[in-house]
Amino acid sequence: MRTYSPRDLIIVGLMLMLLEYMFMQLNLGALQKSTLDLLLFLGALWLAAMLIVEERFDPYRIIYSFSWSFIVVVSITYIFLALALQLSGVARSIVYLLLPLALTALAGLVKVKAVEPLIQGRSIKSSLGRIPISRRLQLSLYRLDRVMIAFIAISLAILVAFLITPVLSIFQYSILTPSGEPWYHNFKVIFSDNLYVRKIFIGEPKPWEFIRRPDGTLELVVTGVNYGVLVNSITNAVIVTVVATALGVLVAFALARYDFYGKTFLRVLAVVPLFVTPFINSYIVKLIFGTGGPISIITEALFGFKVRIESLAGVALAQIMAFYPIVYLNAYSSFISIDPSMEEQAENLGSKSWRLFFTITLPLALPGIAAGSILVLIFSLEDLGAPIVFNEHNLMSYKIYSSLIGEAGVVTPEIAALGVVLIALSVLGFLVIRSYVSMRAYAMVSRGGRWHPRTRKLSVVGHVLIYLLLLPLIVFTALPQIGVILMAFNVMALDRFSINPAGFTTKYVVEAFTGGSPLAADIPMHVRNTLTYAITAVLIATVLSIIIAYVVSRARIKYVVELLDVLATIPIAIPGLVIAIGYYYYLSTLSSWGLEWSRGTPLEGLFIAINPIYGELGFQAWIALITAFVVRRLPYTARSVFAGFQQVHENLEEAALNLGASRLKTISTVILPLIVTNIVSGTLIGFIYTSTEVSTSVTLGAFNKQQAPVTYYMMYIYKAGTTEAYRYAAAVGLLLIAIQLIVVIVVTLVLKQRYAFIGI
Amino acid sequence: MATKVRLEDVTKVYGNVVAADNITLEVKPGELFTFLGPSGCGKTTTLRIIAGFEAPDKGRVFFDEEDVTFKKPYQRNTAMVFQNYALWPHMTVYDNIAYGLRLRKIPEDEIRKRVKWVLELVRLEGLENRFPLQLSGGQQQRVALARALVVQPRILLLDEPLSNLDAKLRIEMREEVKRIQRELLITTIYVTHDQLEAMSISDRLAVMDKGRVLQVGTPQEIYFKPRSVFVASFIGRSNMFTGKLVERSRAYAKIYIDELGVEVEGVIEDSEPSDKVIAIVRPEDIAVELLGASTSTNNNVLRGVVEFKMFVGEKQELRVKVRDASIVAYAPKNLDLSIGQEVLISFSRNSLRALPYK
Ligand SMILES: Nc1ncnc2c1ncn2[C@@H]1O[C@H](COP(=O)(O)OP(=O)(O)OP(=O)(O)O)[C@@H](O)[C@H]1O
Ligand SMILES: [Mg+2]
């Protein structure tokens, strides 16, 4: 019997696509069209089911192939998006091209991962005879002693109370609809309204055009096209992800595989964009791409016009510059952890450099790169700094933000629905990539002994290429952070990218610390807020991480372990703004519900304190903020602690249990002392991501400004538009850079942990 | 008084692997009992069930008459030596050994005395203040043993404790373990996949395959009276033939051997006439003689041609071709043989065992 390859499925897809194209030429009515669509879809589904059930397609041909599984993941995402956005024309036809492959792969996955183990498990269980319920209960209780049960209960309770419920409350609000409308009304609006998905373009400014200024200079103004809030967000995120991935992989490959003078310097410089300085770095990107920036200077000298990049185009550029190092770090560590013998083997067989790269090196590094890319996608979707600075209102993140801190003080169900769409996009992407990455985790397993990564000496031409292309690129992407420092010391102008060493003064930095000027008066208070919240939150997160990591690495109850593992990592994929609206709904509901029965009791104060609606009159923003910080930054501490647990062989623990130590005793005398460096570095990394947090700080913080963290203040300055105050914002940025720098140095040099960006 | 261990119907399933399959056996007080079997047969699983790191899906575990099936590891007073020793790298040798004693709230000067005693027992005096990573493999192994012994456990559990050592040290440590076990008379359960180790160290052993215990007995019983083909082939070397049971009398049976085309006499266990059987003869039970110089009184005599010979120490190993079979046998080293020479090989009817064909 003939079996089919993935390539055959693409050919089938091609035929489906042609079929669909022919139908479209037939001038059919809407009903007939959708019937035909349904028929084509059912045909593809039938084909997939038949191929899998009759074993004429081997699912492992996809699961074990890097490139095919990657193609399948991309195809599924594409199909999902194309259907959600109701694309038409060629974009829709491509769905049919990919459909047979995607469906067959899914059917195969279901068979291999769910059906087969179930059938095998059944036959074993039946040969074992029935295990009585009482015995099963005894077995589960045995696996979970009291400490384990307490750990599971504590961690689930915290995650349910402060992560799941707030997020679910958004779902609940998103289906509140005007009377007479179905429950999905708000979603229908988001997927069809002209605000979100634009179909009418009238009087639209051109995506780019030349403008002659009154003073006679010529300017090229690039803005990008506004396709509506939903499409903009997705397009922007996709573009940012693709470009950032390409850049990151390129830089990582050059740095991982070639030796040249100044390499260490470039490696350090390449991670500079990861130093978070909210708002002010985007502002500097705006200056860089403004009429007074380096780009304009170059184009004016060469072609006689200046360049100004604004709106969507500016947001994309700022995000690419800020996020590409995430891919770079992941790709770099993937490249250097590839066993050189694999590449040598391929070379022996005659594989030449390009071929080698595309057939061996890239596929092996793909899981790491994919993990980095999905983070870029998520970060781009939820980013608030760039949209605020470029004043771009037509993005999902900005819409949510502006409605949260809007004058009206009410968040409409439509915004909740927008939050649901945002969370669905990022969580789905995250989960798909997560299973893809863990499925091929074996590729990254090192075979025992250490090796020296393969590097090559570069020729003279190679050096020239590196210095002409790579060096400017890396320096360029580090400019925002450099600009922040220059601005803080008054070496850079406020409205253009020009440097004036004579202006050097420490005045702004000093005043930011002391609050010794009217514009900076509140800074010390906000810095104190940030430090208090970040330290408290990160300590709680660390304890919670230890508890969760212990359960995940030691409890032998599959579902509990998987659930906790996902819950502890998923906050990475939940946009901060979604957490913010979630908390808003959740806290105000909880409060009004609590106030009802706690009248006159001391608890009344607590229920007032947690309600953002009371604002400055009684809302204790710190409670909400610390809780949100714990939940949002949990993955950063949890991953590090978890890595520690994985290094401690279970036997070390069992040896103690065996000698008579209880669980808690074992944890405190054997495990914690062994993983203390992992814990400390997790705490430190969590600390920097907490102290630079933006989304919940600027939203929940806005309800009680006295208690807002310093990132709120940076945004406040920016919104207030007092340009003079930018220097103070830059000084705060400098402080944040300093904190991050110290942590990175401590983690890498003192604790000797690898500071890679968080993996999935 | 040492403790007796009894497993009753113990079964453990992992996903779709049956790691322990209806294991029932008894370890006598004070004996050194070994689980022997190939990799993945469930030895560690069984040991971990006894230690309490896992609970069996079915069946029960008893220490003396006490049912400990669902007792926690820290309530069982067993002590385990792990294959990778599992010494705590952040504690000195002294602290490693004293750990269990401190948990038992024993006064510090008593602890000092006991640690000194156990270090003498395992011959490691003077290394108290080293950290595990500063010790050699053999020393680490002894620290692990000391850590287990010092708490005077009811049962000592050893999971392939010697497998990380080199061949010479392994033999030394084997004797050491045996000596200490004799001295303290602790009920000891030992796991290994090395048949020589199992044969030399155990009072009794259980041979396991695919989660099942195939045979329990003394090393001699296991070696000379294997009750299944697996046991016979796993332990020592043996010649195996397929055959048919022709006739069985009270003590002996007549078996037709397919490969040799003759009938031989041997011992048989539960088979009916005309049943297919596997016949097994150990090479050391076979006598090799020159034609015309036969002095043996063996009932089964065959004629064959020397196919291959090799000197192995004090004897020579031969392969003798008889019809379709190639029989491994040993000859005294002074017997003058050449390849292609015809010889007589013979074995007694007590040394041929016929087992049911499965
Ligand atoms: N925690 C576990 N989860 C799933 N399967 C397991 C687990 N522990 C053991 N197994 C499976 O049970 C079977 C028996 O394993 P066990 O470790 O008991 O073998 P073993 O006889 O000790 O082998 P070795 O000599 O290699 O140590 C193996 O197939 C193993 O894969
Ligand atoms: Mg084992």
pLDDT at B209: 93
- Judge contact between A252 and A335, C-beta under 8 A: yes
Does B40 contact ligand 1 (Cβ within 6 A)?
A: yes
CA B300 to chain centre: 30
Residues from chain B contacting residue A656 (CB–CB below 8 Å) = 88, 99
Chain B residues with at least one Cβ partner in A under 8 Å: 11, 13, 15-16, 18, 51-53, 55, 57-58, 70, 72-74, 77-80, 82-84, 86-90, 99-100, 103-104, 147-148, 151
Both tokens of residue A81? Answer: 């998006």
How high does pLDDT run on average in chain B?
A: 89
pLDDT at A448: 36
A121 touches chain B (CB under 8 A): yes
The preferred substitution site among B12, B16, B17, B83 for testing ligand 1, maximizing ligand atoms within 8 Å of CB, is B17
Instruction: Name the closest-CA residue to atom 26, ligand 1.
Output: B39
CB-count exposure of residue A2 (10 Å: 0-12, 13-18, 19+): exposed
Cβ <8 Å between B55 and A656: no
Asked whether B308 lines ligand 1 (CB < 6 A), one says no
> Number of Cβ pairs closer than 8 Å across A and B?
89
Ligand 1 mean position to B152 CA, how many Å?
28
CATH code of domain A208-476: 1.10.3720.10
In this model, does residue A670 exceed pLDDT 70?
A: yes
CA-B47 nearest atom, ligand 1: 18
Q: Tell me which H or E stretch contains B345.
A: strand B342-347
Looking at the complex, report in whole angstroms how far the Cα of residue B219 sits from the nearest Cα belonging to chain A: 30
This complex has an ipTM of: 0.84
pLDDT of residue A498: 79
Residue A501 CA to ligand 1 centre (angstroms): 69
* Separation of CA A647 and ligand 1 centre (Å): 20
* Contacting residues of B for A660, CB less than 8 Å apart: 74, 77, 100, 103-104, 151
Does residue B164 contact residue B83 with C-beta atoms inside 8 Å? yes
Identity of the amino acid at A438:
S
Mutate to test the interface with A, among B14, B16, B45, B164 (most CBs of A within 10 A): B16
Least confident interval from A249-263, A452-466, A490-504, B84-98: A452-466
Residues paired with B256 in a beta bridge = B244, B263
Encoded amino acid at A534, one letter: A
| Residue with CA at minimum distance from ligand 1 atom 6 | B14
* Complete DSSP assignment for A448-473: SS--PPP-EE--HHHHHHIIIIIHHH
The residue of chain B with its CA nearest to that of A662 is B74
Q: Any CB–CB contact under 8 A between A132 and chain B?
A: no
Q: Nearest Cβ partner of B55 from A123, A128, A139?
A: A139
pLDDT at A444: 37
Residue with CA at minimum distance from ligand 1 atom 14: B42
Sole residue written with tokens 């980095």: A372
Across the range A710-732, mean pLDDT stands at 85
Q: How far is CA B119 from CA A80, A306, B32, B71, B123, in A?
A: 67, 83, 22, 30, 6
Is 90 exceeded by the pLDDT of residue A40? no
pLDDT digits (tens, 9 = 90+) for A285-301: 988 898 888 888 888 88
Per-residue pLDDT at A202 exceeds 70? yes
d(CA B100, CA A384): 56
Q: What is the pLDDT of residues A546-557, one digit of tens each?
A: 999 999 988 878
Residue-wise burial string across B7-32, b where 16 or more C-beta atoms lie within 10 A, e elsewhere: bbebbbbeeeebbbbbbebebeebbb
Query: pLDDT by residue (tens digit) across A579-614?
Result: 998 998 899 888 888 888 888 788 888 888 888 888
Q: Which residue among B11, B84, B103 places its CB closest to the CB of A661?
A: B103
Measured in whole angstroms, the distance separating CA A255 from the mean position of its chain's CA atoms is 24
Q: What is the pLDDT of residues A524-551, one digit of tens each?
A: 999 999 999 999 999 999 999 999 999 9
Residue A242 host element (H or E): helix A229-257
Neighboring chain A residues of B84 at a CB cutoff of 8 Å = 649, 651
The fold for domain A158-174+522-707 equals MetI-like fold (1.10.3720)
The Cα B57–Cα B9 span in angstroms is: 10
Best A134, A140, A659, A668 residue to mutate vs chain B (most B CBs within 10 Å)? A659
A128–B80 C-beta distance less than 8 A: no
Give the containing element (helix H, strand E) for B197: helix B195-201
Q: Using the mean position of ligand 1's atoms as its centre, give its distance from the Cα of residue A665 in Å.
A: 28
The reply to whether ligand 1 has any atom less than 6 angstroms from the CB of B137 is no
Q: Which of A309, A320, A291, A299 shows the shortest CA–CA distance to A208?
A: A309
Distance of CA A95 to the CA centre of its chain: 26
Report the phi/psi class of residue B261: left, alpha or beta, with left for phi > 0 and alpha for psi in -120 to 50: left
pLDDT at A350 over 70: no
pLDDT at A415 over 60: yes
The per-residue pLDDT for range A428-469, each reduced to its tens digit, is: 888 877 777 665 443 333 333 344 566 777 778 878 888 888
**Bridge partner residues of A220 (DSSP):** A210, A307
Does any ligand 1 atom lie closer than 6 A to the CB of residue B12?
no
Q: Between β-strands B204-209 and B212-217, what pairing exists: parallel, antiparallel or unpaired? A: antiparallel
Q: Is the Cβ of A143 closer than 8 Å to some Cβ of chain B?
A: yes
Ligand 1, residue B191: give the atom nearest the CA.
22
Ligand with smallest separation from the Cα of B192: 1
The domains of chain B, with CATH numbers, are 5-229 (3.40.50.300), 283-347 (2.40.50.140)
Confidence of residue A513 (pLDDT cuts 50, 70, 90): confident
Mean of pLDDT values over B131-149: 91
Contact flag B55-A143 (C-beta cutoff 8 Å)? yes
The larger pLDDT score, comparing residue A378 to residue A458, is at: A378
State the closest ligand 1 atom to the C-alpha of B12, by its place in the atom list counted from 1.
12
A105 DSSP β-pair partners:
none
Across the interface, whether the CB atoms of B103 and A659 are under 8 A apart is answered yes
B50 to chain A: closest CA residue:
A658
CA distance B149 to chain A (A): 10
Among the ranges given (A32-41, A318-327, A458-467, A631-640), the one the predictor scored with the smallest mean pLDDT: A458-467
Who among A128, A141, A145 is closest to B58 (CB)?
A128
Burial class of residue A36, CB neighbours in 10 A (0-12, 13-18, 19+): middle
Helix, strand, coil share of chain A (percent; to 5): 75, 5, 25
Higher-confidence position of B179 and A90: B179
- Between B91 and B334, whose confidence is greater? B91
Which residues, 6 or more positions from A122, have their beta carbon under 8 angstroms from its beta carbon? none
Chain B neighbors of A657, CB-CB under 8 A: 53, 72-74
Predicted pLDDT of residue B91: 92
Our CA-based measurement puts residue A438 at a distance from the nearest CA of chain B, in whole angstroms, of: 20
Of A651, A660, A673, the CB nearest to B74: A660
pTM: 0.83
Checking if the pLDDT of A18 tops 70, the result is: yes
Name the nearest CA neighbour of A413 among A174, A187, A197.
A174
| Residues in A touching B87 (Cβ below 8 Å) | 655
For ligand 1, whether the C-beta of B193 sits within 6 Å is yes
Q: pLDDT at position A407, please?
A: 57
Q: Dihedral (C-alpha) A46, A48, A49, A51: value to the nearest 10 degrees?
A: 120
Closest atom, ligand 1, to C-alpha of B37: 21
pLDDT range class, residue A249, cuts 50, 70, 90: very high
Contact B55 A120 (CB under 8 A): no
If you take atom 4 of ligand 1, which residue's CA is the nearest one?
B14
Q: Using an 8 Å Cβ cutoff, are A312 and A239 in contact?
A: no
Q: Are strands B300-312 and B66-67 parallel, antiparallel or unpaired?
A: unpaired
Given CB atoms, is A114 within the 8 Å cutoff of chain B? no
Domain ranges of chain A: 6-128, 158-174+522-707, 208-476
To the nearest whole Å, the CA of B346 is away from the closest chain A CA by 45
B193 CA: nearest ligand 1 atom: 25
Question: What pLDDT sits at residue A548?
Answer: 94
Residue range B57-84: average pLDDT?
A: 92
pLDDT digits (tens, 9 = 90+) for A161-195: 999 999 999 998 888 888 888 888 888 888 888 88
Q: Is B194 in the pocket of ligand 1 (CB under 6 A)?
A: no
